[in-house]
Amino acid sequence: MSRKMSVLVLPVLFLLALALMVPASANAQGVALKLFGGYDYLNGGDVNDGLKGAVDLYKAIIPMGGYTASGDYKSFHNAWDVGGDLIIYLTPVVGIGLGAGYIQTLGSASDVSFAKPATPTLTMSLDPKVTAIPLRASLYVSIPMGSAVHLSLHAGAAYYFAKMQFVWRLAQSSDWEQMQFKTDGNGFGFHGGLGLEINLASNLALVLEGTGRIANIGGFSGTGIFTSSGGSSITTTGKLYYYKYNYGMLGILPEIDIRDTVPSGVPYSDVREAKLDLSGFAARAGLVIRF
C-alpha cells in the first residue's frame, strides 16, 4: 500500500473497528443533517503541469524575436467547497453518512506580456477553471468530549464528476488567436477527516473540521476550439492527453491537448490520458441539525 493511500485507508479501517466494537443490540439513534462550506486546496496534477508547459513554450519562443517577457503561469490550487451529508446514526457513536458537494477553483488567471521597443505589446492570457461534484459515502464516529462538545471523525469514498475548461488567448493590437478547451471526466476518490461539534442548542451544533482527500480523476474528453481574428476556426473532439514534447534546443516540455488519436512519434514521451489531481485538503465550518 502506498504512503498516500494509507493516509486515508487506515482511518477507514480504524473507524470500522470502532463500529464493530459497538454492541449488535444497539438501537438506531436518529438522523442528522450536516451542512458545510470552506476553503479547499487542490493539487492539479497533469493539468497544471501541461498548462505551465504551454506558457513556458511561448516564453521561450517569442523572446527570440527581441521581446522581453514578464509574468508567468499561475497554477490553480485554491478552491471553495460546499456540501452536505445526511447522517443516519446506528448507535450514539457510529453513523453512516450519504452526501454530495460542489468544488470550484478560485480565480487563477495567468497574464504574460511581451514588450519590444516601437512595437505594440503582445499579451498572452490563460484562465483555467475546474469544478467537481463528489457523491460520497462516509462512516462517522462521534466521541463525547464533555456535555457540549463532540469529537467527530469520518472517512469514506466518493465518486467525482469533474469538469476542466480554459481559454488561452494571444493578442497584439487587433490581431489575436484563441484556444478554448471544455472537457469532462470522472472517477473515485477517498477522504477522511476530523472536527469538533459544539452544541448551540439541543438539536443544533456548530462544526469545525479539517479533511484530506485522494482523488486522481481521469477519462477526460471534450472539445477544443481554435479561432483567430483572421477568421480561422478549427474544432477538435477527443480525449485529453498528457505528454512531453521534445522541442530540441528549447527543451522537453509537458503539454495537454485534445486529440482524436493517441499522440505518437519521436518527439513524444510519457504519453497518457491526462489526470486531474483533486487530492488535497479542506478547512470547513458548518452546522449539524439533529432530528
Are the CB atoms for 136 and 98 separated by under 8 Å? yes
Residue pLDDT, tens place only, 253-278: 999 999 999 999 999 999 999 999 99
The gap from C-alpha 103 to its chain's centroid, in whole angstroms, comes to 7
Integer angstrom CA distances of residue 167 from 26, 51, 191: 56, 11, 31
65's grid cell: 524575436
**What is the distance between the alpha carbons of residues 84 and 180, in angstroms, rounded to a whole number?**
33
Give me the mean pLDDT over the 212-233 stretch: 95
List the chain domain ranges.
Answer: 29-85+96-134+157-188+212-290
pLDDT at position 107 is: 80
For the ranges 14-23, 90-99, 105-114, which has the lowest average pLDDT? 14-23
pLDDT at position 96 is: 95
pLDDT at position 1 is: 47
Residue pLDDT, tens place only, 136-157: 999 999 999 888 999 999 999 9
Residue 48 is classified by DSSP as: H
| Model confidence at 11: pLDDT above 60 | no
The 8 Å CB, 24+ separation contacts for 223-227 are 223/181, 223/182, 223/183, 223/258, 224/179, 224/180, 224/181, 224/257, 224/258, 225/179, 225/180, 226/177, 226/178, 226/179, 227/177, 227/178, 227/180
